[in-house]
Structure 1
Amino acid sequence: MKIDRLVSIIMVLLDKKRIGAQELAEMFEVSPRTIYRDIDAINLAGIPIRSTAGVGGGFEIMPEYKIDKTVFSTADLSAILMGLSSLSSVVRGDELVNALAKVKSFIPAEKAKDIEIEANQILIDLSPWMGNRHIQPYLETIKAALQNRRLLSFEYTAHHGNRTVRTVEPYQLVLKSSHWYFYGYCCHRKDYRLFRLSRMSGLEMREDTFIPRDYPKPILDFEEIWAAMQTEVKIRIHKSILDRVLEYCSCGRFAPDGEEHYLVNFPLIENEYYYDILLSFGDKCECIEPLHVRNELKRRIYDLAAVYGDGLLT
């Protein structure tokens, strides 16, 4: 449920005497069912909205109710501002600017300083430190395609460097573990797919429009699947890479081994990604057991050394 949409619906109801569910749905590009859920949420928040059936019917704020700027608490407004500000750092657009302006209009002058302090206590910046410069313009293109129900075409690089040209109906932008994806129906595969933006090139919004489907939600939680696939390996690491290893496992898996090293029960899935993680720790990490993982790492290290030849350093 989008907080900025709820706030916008409240503003519309304040401005209009009565408005129908279908009109609201078209205004916010959602289904009437979503509007009914939003209205229920607004009612639960303490703003009484009355619905009238029949010709000329619709939703309206009950005439005897007078909304004022105290309807949102300091904590409510701080949370809303924090969320909208974090989105505006990566997804730009007039609607976010307008939503921020509307929320700020609810802030009483005497509470403005307190709300500003609370909103600034947590900073969420979703923009990357460095990386693919196409991500930001691609976000804007996908966002425009979502709003206008236009097809997207691009070249996609999958695992092992396989490249294919795709035409996709876009349905969702997804931010998962600091990476941007978009979810849509691939006309090439005849199925729903999750595409990582950093693997896309030549993204274009086509003139062709599409009729939206009732799409299944993307599967984003693989914790149970990964837990079944994981095996524990024991690694010995130097303290200088402790912070890096903590990105992949908790402190409870670490045990001191002298003054300079730690023994770590590291959760490993035996695939390219996880072997690359262990190798990225360089000579500050040694796999102790099991033997077959240790031998696989040795094989990969020998293969890497062979790329540079057998001679001495020069």
Structure 2
Amino acid sequence: MRLDRLVSIIMILLDKKRIPAQELADKFEVSLRTIYRDIDAIDIAGIPIRSIPGVGGGFEIMPKYKVDSNVFSRNDLSSILLGLSSVSGIVQSDTFIHALEKVKTLIPDEHARDIEFKANQIHIDMSPWIGNIQIQNNLEVIKQALHAVKLVTFSYRDHRGNITERTVEPYQLVLKSNRWYCHSYCLTKKDYRLFRLSRISNVRTLSQSFDVRAYEKPRLDFDDRLETIQTKVKIRIHKSLVDRVLDFCTFDCLIEDGDAHYILEFPFIENDFYYNTILSFGNKCECLSPAHIRAEVINRIDAILSIYI
């Protein structure tokens, strides 16, 4: 979001005496033209920015200038506090905490209560009720390696249970669908890979640094591919399962079938994850069609049953 970037640029300029335009562009992964527009917007907002040409030049805030708290509206400050509070809760870091404290100093005393109330209207907590406590440790180790531009090594268990040793150049931490990933260049596979943090163990940072490559962002949107591989299965569920199936579809998909059941078209991909999802519904779900998926569900139930008989 542009507001986030503008606030970050202001904080950087307050913290540093001078910074080149190209460094800002690289930091925020935008063009130089975008940075120049941002600087103009900050200047128009009342913060005097001057440009120093030549070697060692860049942008800086005019000497002896202090940010006026009136530069930001109450809604601006509420949004900034909400964003920083959420990020600091997800990624434990003194940097975010210090940035949060800096922003709080911009709040006029007479508006402090109202702004704090608005900032607390949304609370984001990504920590699981129960789960793999190792994820937070993996997150912190990789975050520090990212900052220091150091290689990371770890053991990785893929979705089939195979374990391999990996050494990677970490480039980005990704939070997608409540799961943390590290997008890295894998020196073992000689290509970019997206590693799920819950599958990582024995992670450690090496002393060896690396030269940053021409970074390729991970592809996180698969809507076009889903259209070709996703199908619908008709299932009949007990009403007690509604809360779970709503993670996959909407209320509009539910058709009443008697007093205690619903029939719906459930989005489905023919892989272990979706078959296991259907099976996890237990005896409160019946797969009605198509016939080949229903048959495969029965085969998997028989395989489970054979373990106990």
Q: TM-score, normalised by structure 1?
A: 0.89
Task: Give the SS at the match of 1:265.
Answer: strand
Tell me what 1:198 maps to: 198
- 1:250-282 per-residue CA deviation (whole Å, 9 max, x = no partner) reads 112111011110010111111111000100000
Which residue, out of 23, 37, 41, partners 1:40?
37
Tell me what 2:168 maps to: 168
Distance 1:143 1:38, change over 3 A: farther
Task: Give the SS at the match of 1:160.
Answer: coil
Distance 1:291 1:103, change over 3 A: same
Q: Is 1:155 matched with 2:155?
A: yes
State how far apart, in whole Å, the 1-side matches of 2:225 and 2:271 are.
14
Aligned-pair distance for 1:55? 5.1
Distance 1:31 1:291, change over 3 A: closer
Task: Give the SS at the match of 1:234.
Answer: strand
Tell me what 1:78 maps to: 78
Aligned-pair distance for 1:231? 1.1
| Counterpart amino acid of residue 143 in structure 2 | K
Tell me what 2:20 maps to: 21
State how far apart, in whole Å, the 2-side matches of 1:162 and 1:243 are.
33
State how far apart, in whole Å, the 2-side matches of 1:287 and 1:33 are.
49
Task: Give the SS at the match of 2:91.
Answer: coil
Tell me what 2:181 maps to: 181
Aligned-pair distance for 1:13? 3.7
Q: Is 1:98 matched with 2:98?
A: yes
| Counterpart amino acid of residue 25 in structure 1 | E
State how far apart, in whole Å, the 2-side matches of 1:148 and 1:264 are.
50
Aligned-pair distance for 1:57? 3.7
State how far apart, in whole Å, the 2-side matches of 1:299 and 1:33 are.
52
Distance 1:84 1:64, change over 3 A: closer
Aligned-pair distance for 1:88? 1.3
State how far apart, in whole Å, the 2-side matches of 1:14 and 1:186 are.
37
Q: TM-score, normalised by structure 2?
A: 0.90
- 1:88-146 per-residue CA deviation (whole Å, 9 max, x = no partner) reads 12312221111101111111111101100100111111222211111111111001000
Aligned-pair distance for 1:32? 9.6
- 1:157-202 per-residue CA deviation (whole Å, 9 max, x = no partner) reads 0121111000000000000000000001000000000000000110
Task: Give the SS at the match of 1:278.
Answer: helix
State how 1:181-260 maps to structure 2 within 5 Å. 181-260=181-260
Tell me what 2:124 maps to: 124
- 1:34-71 per-residue CA deviation (whole Å, 9 max, x = no partner) reads 78744532432524533232256432346898741011
Distance 1:245 1:256, change over 3 A: same
CA contact (8 A) 2:152 2:167 kept: yes
State how far apart, in whole Å, the 1-side matches of 2:266 and 2:30 are.
46
State how far apart, in whole Å, the 1-side matches of 2:60 and 2:167 are.
42
Tell me what 1:273 maps to: 273
Aligned-pair distance for 1:9? 3.8
Task: Give the SS at the match of 1:145.
Answer: helix
- 1:273-305 per-residue CA deviation (whole Å, 9 max, x = no partner) reads 100010000000001111111111111001100
Aligned-pair distance for 1:8? 5.1
Structure 1: tracts of 5 or more residues without a match? 310-314
Distance 1:200 1:96, change over 3 A: same
Q: Which moved more, 1:39-48 or 1:93-102?
A: 39-48
